[in-house]
Amino acid sequence: MKVIADYVHSKGLKFGLYSSVGTTTCRGDPGSYGHYQTDADTFASWGIDYVKLDWCGQMCTAEGHKEFSHALNATKHPMVLELCRGTYQNEAKWGYAPSIAQSWRATGDHHDSWKSTLEQVKSVEGKSAWSGPYGWAYLDMLMTGGQGCKGQSVDQALHCPGQTNNEYRTEYSLYAIASSSLLIGTDIRNITAIMRELIFNPEVIAMNQDRSTPGDIMSTCNKKNDIWVRKLANGDIAVAATNLGDAPATLSVCFSDLPGGSSSMHVRDLWKRVDVGVFRNMYSRTVDVHDTMLLVLKSA
Protein backbone atom coordinates (compact mmCIF):
# COMPACT_ATOMS: atom_id res chain seq x y z
CA MET A 1 0.00 0.00 0.00
CA LYS A 2 2.90 2.38 0.67
CA VAL A 3 4.12 1.87 -2.89
CA ILE A 4 0.65 2.77 -4.21
CA ALA A 5 0.44 5.81 -1.92
CA ASP A 6 3.88 6.97 -3.08
CA TYR A 7 2.77 6.62 -6.71
CA VAL A 8 -0.39 8.65 -6.06
CA HIS A 9 1.67 11.35 -4.34
CA SER A 10 4.04 11.45 -7.33
CA LYS A 11 1.05 12.53 -9.45
CA GLY A 12 0.35 15.50 -7.20
CA LEU A 13 -2.68 13.81 -5.61
CA LYS A 14 -3.64 12.90 -2.06
CA PHE A 15 -4.29 9.32 -0.96
CA GLY A 16 -7.32 8.38 1.13
CA LEU A 17 -8.51 5.14 2.71
CA TYR A 18 -11.89 3.90 3.91
CA SER A 19 -12.76 2.01 7.08
CA SER A 20 -15.61 1.76 9.58
CA VAL A 21 -15.82 2.53 13.26
CA GLY A 22 -17.74 -0.73 13.63
CA THR A 23 -16.86 -4.40 13.18
CA THR A 24 -17.37 -4.37 9.40
CA THR A 25 -17.58 -1.92 6.54
CA CYS A 26 -20.86 -1.40 4.72
CA ARG A 27 -20.08 -4.21 2.26
CA GLY A 28 -18.98 -6.62 4.97
CA ASP A 29 -15.18 -6.27 5.00
CA PRO A 30 -13.43 -6.02 8.38
CA GLY A 31 -13.86 -2.67 10.12
CA SER A 32 -11.55 -0.96 12.59
CA TYR A 33 -13.41 -1.79 15.83
CA GLY A 34 -10.97 -3.25 18.36
CA HIS A 35 -7.98 -2.19 16.26
CA TYR A 36 -8.14 1.60 16.22
CA GLN A 37 -4.52 2.28 17.15
CA THR A 38 -3.16 -0.56 15.03
CA ASP A 39 -5.05 0.70 11.99
CA ALA A 40 -4.03 4.31 12.63
CA ASP A 41 -0.36 3.35 12.95
CA THR A 42 -0.57 1.29 9.76
CA PHE A 43 -2.22 4.12 7.82
CA ALA A 44 0.49 6.52 9.04
CA SER A 45 3.27 4.13 7.97
CA TRP A 46 1.75 4.04 4.47
CA GLY A 47 1.70 7.86 4.24
CA ILE A 48 -2.08 8.12 4.07
CA ASP A 49 -3.53 11.65 3.86
CA TYR A 50 -7.26 11.11 4.42
CA VAL A 51 -9.38 8.58 6.32
CA LYS A 52 -13.12 8.16 5.77
CA LEU A 53 -14.63 6.40 8.78
CA ASP A 54 -18.03 4.86 8.05
CA TRP A 55 -20.80 3.81 10.46
CA CYS A 56 -21.38 0.15 9.61
CA GLY A 57 -21.24 -3.22 11.33
CA GLN A 58 -21.72 -3.82 15.03
CA MET A 59 -20.33 -1.72 17.90
CA CYS A 60 -20.71 1.68 16.18
CA THR A 61 -20.51 4.34 18.90
CA ALA A 62 -19.61 7.97 19.39
CA GLU A 63 -16.90 6.78 21.77
CA GLY A 64 -15.46 4.74 18.94
CA HIS A 65 -15.27 7.87 16.81
CA LYS A 66 -13.43 9.66 19.59
CA GLU A 67 -11.02 6.75 20.16
CA PHE A 68 -10.18 6.54 16.48
CA SER A 69 -9.53 10.29 16.31
CA HIS A 70 -7.23 10.01 19.32
CA ALA A 71 -5.42 7.11 17.65
CA LEU A 72 -4.79 9.16 14.50
CA ASN A 73 -3.43 12.05 16.55
CA ALA A 74 -1.14 9.69 18.45
CA THR A 75 0.65 8.75 15.21
CA LYS A 76 1.87 12.37 14.76
CA HIS A 77 1.29 11.91 11.01
CA PRO A 78 -1.18 14.48 9.60
CA MET A 79 -4.32 12.79 8.29
CA VAL A 80 -7.73 14.34 7.62
CA LEU A 81 -10.53 12.47 9.40
CA GLU A 82 -13.98 12.36 7.82
CA LEU A 83 -16.83 10.96 9.90
CA CYS A 84 -19.34 9.27 7.64
CA ARG A 85 -22.57 9.36 9.65
CA GLY A 86 -23.10 8.90 13.37
CA THR A 87 -25.08 10.16 16.35
CA TYR A 88 -23.72 13.69 15.89
CA GLN A 89 -26.04 14.11 12.88
CA ASN A 90 -29.03 14.43 15.22
CA GLU A 91 -27.32 16.79 17.65
CA ALA A 92 -27.24 20.58 17.73
CA LYS A 93 -24.08 22.14 16.26
CA TRP A 94 -23.08 18.66 15.01
CA GLY A 95 -22.48 17.45 18.55
CA TYR A 96 -19.01 16.03 19.19
CA ALA A 97 -17.94 15.97 15.52
CA PRO A 98 -16.21 19.40 15.34
CA SER A 99 -13.98 18.54 18.31
CA ILE A 100 -12.55 15.34 16.79
CA ALA A 101 -12.77 15.54 12.97
CA GLN A 102 -11.96 17.89 10.13
CA SER A 103 -15.14 17.02 8.23
CA TRP A 104 -18.34 15.12 8.87
CA ARG A 105 -21.18 13.98 6.66
CA ALA A 106 -24.22 16.16 7.15
CA THR A 107 -26.62 13.60 5.71
CA GLY A 108 -26.79 10.35 3.71
CA ASP A 109 -25.08 9.32 0.46
CA HIS A 110 -25.14 11.61 -2.55
CA HIS A 111 -26.25 10.11 -5.88
CA ASP A 112 -25.93 11.40 -9.42
CA SER A 113 -29.35 13.02 -9.66
CA TRP A 114 -30.82 16.51 -9.36
CA LYS A 115 -33.11 15.36 -6.54
CA SER A 116 -30.13 14.09 -4.56
CA THR A 117 -28.19 17.32 -5.12
CA LEU A 118 -31.04 19.37 -3.65
CA GLU A 119 -31.37 16.97 -0.69
CA GLN A 120 -27.67 17.28 0.13
CA VAL A 121 -27.75 21.07 0.12
CA LYS A 122 -30.98 21.14 2.14
CA SER A 123 -29.22 19.28 4.96
CA VAL A 124 -27.06 22.31 5.85
CA GLU A 125 -29.60 25.09 5.44
CA GLY A 126 -29.71 27.24 8.59
CA LYS A 127 -26.59 25.56 10.00
CA SER A 128 -23.79 27.75 8.66
CA ALA A 129 -22.64 28.81 12.14
CA TRP A 130 -22.09 25.17 13.07
CA SER A 131 -18.94 24.90 10.90
CA GLY A 132 -15.72 26.87 10.81
CA PRO A 133 -11.93 26.63 10.41
CA TYR A 134 -10.62 23.07 10.91
CA GLY A 135 -14.12 21.59 11.04
CA TRP A 136 -16.64 21.58 8.17
CA ALA A 137 -19.94 19.85 7.44
CA TYR A 138 -19.56 17.76 4.29
CA LEU A 139 -22.15 16.98 1.60
CA ASP A 140 -20.56 13.75 0.30
CA MET A 141 -18.71 13.35 -2.99
CA LEU A 142 -19.49 15.59 -5.93
CA MET A 143 -20.86 13.78 -8.97
CA THR A 144 -19.26 16.34 -11.32
CA GLY A 145 -19.52 15.10 -14.91
CA GLY A 146 -20.99 11.71 -13.95
CA GLN A 147 -19.94 9.17 -11.33
CA GLY A 148 -19.23 6.39 -13.84
CA CYS A 149 -20.97 3.75 -15.94
CA LYS A 150 -22.27 0.48 -14.56
CA GLY A 151 -20.33 -2.55 -15.68
CA GLN A 152 -17.33 -0.71 -17.09
CA SER A 153 -13.85 -2.15 -16.54
CA VAL A 154 -11.05 -0.50 -14.58
CA ASP A 155 -9.34 0.32 -17.89
CA GLN A 156 -12.19 2.60 -18.95
CA ALA A 157 -12.93 6.15 -17.82
CA LEU A 158 -16.53 6.73 -18.86
CA HIS A 159 -18.92 9.00 -16.96
CA CYS A 160 -22.57 8.33 -17.96
CA PRO A 161 -23.79 11.62 -16.43
CA GLY A 162 -27.06 11.58 -14.49
CA GLN A 163 -27.43 15.37 -14.40
CA THR A 164 -27.28 18.17 -16.94
CA ASN A 165 -24.30 20.50 -17.18
CA ASN A 166 -26.43 23.21 -15.57
CA GLU A 167 -27.21 20.90 -12.65
CA TYR A 168 -23.54 20.01 -12.19
CA ARG A 169 -22.73 23.73 -12.16
CA THR A 170 -25.36 24.23 -9.45
CA GLU A 171 -24.08 21.26 -7.47
CA TYR A 172 -20.54 22.62 -7.50
CA SER A 173 -21.64 26.21 -6.80
CA LEU A 174 -23.72 25.33 -3.75
CA TYR A 175 -21.15 22.88 -2.36
CA ALA A 176 -18.53 25.62 -2.70
CA ILE A 177 -20.49 28.42 -1.03
CA ALA A 178 -21.64 26.06 1.77
CA SER A 179 -17.95 25.27 2.50
CA SER A 180 -18.29 21.56 1.82
CA SER A 181 -15.14 19.66 0.94
CA LEU A 182 -14.85 19.36 -2.85
CA LEU A 183 -14.11 15.68 -3.37
CA ILE A 184 -14.74 14.45 -6.90
CA GLY A 185 -16.51 11.08 -7.13
CA THR A 186 -15.67 10.39 -10.79
CA ASP A 187 -12.78 9.08 -12.89
CA ILE A 188 -10.33 11.93 -13.49
CA ARG A 189 -8.47 10.14 -16.32
CA ASN A 190 -11.09 11.40 -18.77
CA ILE A 191 -11.72 15.07 -18.04
CA THR A 192 -14.81 16.35 -19.86
CA ALA A 193 -15.56 19.97 -20.69
CA ILE A 194 -17.93 20.49 -17.75
CA MET A 195 -15.46 18.85 -15.37
CA ARG A 196 -12.69 21.14 -16.58
CA GLU A 197 -14.89 24.22 -16.21
CA LEU A 198 -15.91 23.40 -12.65
CA ILE A 199 -12.99 21.56 -11.07
CA PHE A 200 -10.23 23.85 -12.30
CA ASN A 201 -11.79 27.25 -11.60
CA PRO A 202 -9.35 28.90 -9.15
CA GLU A 203 -11.78 31.65 -8.11
CA VAL A 204 -14.47 29.19 -7.04
CA ILE A 205 -11.90 27.07 -5.19
CA ALA A 206 -10.61 30.19 -3.39
CA MET A 207 -14.14 31.11 -2.35
CA ASN A 208 -14.74 27.57 -1.07
CA GLN A 209 -11.43 27.57 0.85
CA ASP A 210 -12.08 30.92 2.55
CA ARG A 211 -11.81 30.74 6.35
CA SER A 212 -15.08 32.59 6.89
CA THR A 213 -18.36 31.15 8.15
CA PRO A 214 -20.03 28.98 5.47
CA GLY A 215 -22.75 30.48 3.33
CA ASP A 216 -26.43 30.03 4.06
CA ILE A 217 -29.76 30.56 2.33
CA MET A 218 -31.87 33.71 2.55
CA SER A 219 -34.59 35.50 0.60
CA THR A 220 -33.90 38.70 -1.29
CA CYS A 221 -35.77 41.52 -3.05
CA ASN A 222 -38.96 41.13 -0.98
CA LYS A 223 -38.83 37.35 -1.30
CA LYS A 224 -38.59 37.45 -5.08
CA ASN A 225 -36.11 34.57 -4.97
CA ASP A 226 -33.76 32.78 -2.59
CA ILE A 227 -29.99 33.15 -2.68
CA TRP A 228 -27.04 31.61 -0.85
CA VAL A 229 -24.82 34.27 0.75
CA ARG A 230 -21.35 34.06 2.28
CA LYS A 231 -19.45 36.97 3.83
CA LEU A 232 -15.81 36.35 2.95
CA ALA A 233 -12.87 37.07 5.23
CA ASN A 234 -11.77 40.10 3.18
CA GLY A 235 -15.24 41.69 3.36
CA ASP A 236 -16.38 40.63 -0.11
CA ILE A 237 -19.71 38.83 -0.43
CA ALA A 238 -20.23 35.60 -2.37
CA VAL A 239 -23.72 35.01 -3.74
CA ALA A 240 -25.23 31.97 -5.47
CA ALA A 241 -28.66 32.27 -7.10
CA THR A 242 -30.20 29.06 -8.47
CA ASN A 243 -33.09 28.71 -10.90
CA LEU A 244 -35.07 25.78 -9.52
CA GLY A 245 -37.81 26.16 -12.15
CA ASP A 246 -38.37 24.44 -15.48
CA ALA A 247 -37.93 27.55 -17.63
CA PRO A 248 -35.32 30.35 -17.77
CA ALA A 249 -35.99 32.96 -15.08
CA THR A 250 -34.72 36.38 -14.03
CA LEU A 251 -33.06 36.17 -10.61
CA SER A 252 -32.12 39.18 -8.52
CA VAL A 253 -29.85 40.19 -5.66
CA CYS A 254 -30.84 43.27 -3.63
CA PHE A 255 -27.73 44.75 -2.04
CA SER A 256 -29.50 46.05 1.05
CA ASP A 257 -30.33 42.45 2.02
CA LEU A 258 -26.67 41.40 2.10
CA PRO A 259 -24.53 41.42 5.25
CA GLY A 260 -22.20 44.38 4.67
CA GLY A 261 -23.92 45.32 1.41
CA SER A 262 -23.84 48.87 0.08
CA SER A 263 -25.90 50.90 -2.36
CA SER A 264 -23.33 50.50 -5.15
CA MET A 265 -21.50 47.20 -5.63
CA HIS A 266 -19.01 45.80 -8.07
CA VAL A 267 -20.13 42.43 -9.45
CA ARG A 268 -17.82 39.65 -10.65
CA ASP A 269 -19.10 36.44 -12.27
CA LEU A 270 -17.03 33.53 -10.98
CA TRP A 271 -18.01 31.01 -13.66
CA LYS A 272 -17.44 33.39 -16.56
CA ARG A 273 -14.45 34.87 -14.70
CA VAL A 274 -15.31 38.39 -15.82
CA ASP A 275 -16.08 41.70 -14.10
CA VAL A 276 -19.72 42.44 -14.89
CA GLY A 277 -19.60 46.04 -13.69
CA VAL A 278 -20.84 48.38 -10.96
CA PHE A 279 -24.56 48.36 -10.14
CA ARG A 280 -26.79 50.38 -7.83
CA ASN A 281 -29.17 48.75 -5.33
CA MET A 282 -29.57 45.42 -7.13
CA TYR A 283 -28.28 43.06 -9.79
CA SER A 284 -30.53 40.90 -11.96
CA ARG A 285 -29.88 38.37 -14.71
CA THR A 286 -31.68 35.62 -16.60
CA VAL A 287 -30.56 32.20 -15.40
CA ASP A 288 -31.15 29.01 -17.36
CA VAL A 289 -33.09 25.99 -16.06
CA HIS A 290 -31.45 24.47 -12.93
CA ASP A 291 -28.39 26.67 -13.44
CA THR A 292 -26.72 28.98 -10.89
CA MET A 293 -25.14 32.40 -11.19
CA LEU A 294 -22.21 32.54 -8.80
CA LEU A 295 -20.99 36.04 -7.96
CA VAL A 296 -18.61 37.94 -5.74
CA LEU A 297 -19.70 41.46 -4.80
CA LYS A 298 -17.68 44.26 -3.21
CA SER A 299 -18.56 47.83 -2.32
CA ALA A 300 -17.89 50.19 -5.21
- Given a contact cutoff of 8 angstroms between Cβ atoms, the answer to whether 40 and 6 are in contact is no
CA torsion angle 275 278 280 282 (round to 10): 0
The verdict on whether 54 is a catalytic residue reads: yes
Residue 171 near residue 228 (C-beta atoms within 8 A): no
Q: Measured between alpha carbons, how far is 186 from 159 in angstroms, rounded to an integer? A: 7
CB neighbours of 59 closer than 8 A, spacing ≥ 6?
A: 21, 22, 23, 33, 34
Is 109 considered catalytic here?
yes
Q: Which residues contact 172 (CB under 8 A, 6 or more apart)?
A: 142, 144, 182, 198, 199, 204
CA distance 234 to 289: 32
Do residues 227 and 217 lie in contact, with contact meaning Cβ atoms separated by under 8 Å?
A: yes
What CA dihedral angle connects 155, 157, 162 and 166, to 10 degrees? 170
Which one of the listed residues 54, 112, 210, 236 is annotated catalytic?
Answer: 54
Read off φ and ψ for residue 34, nearest 5 degrees. Answer: 85, -5
What are the catalytic residues?
54, 109
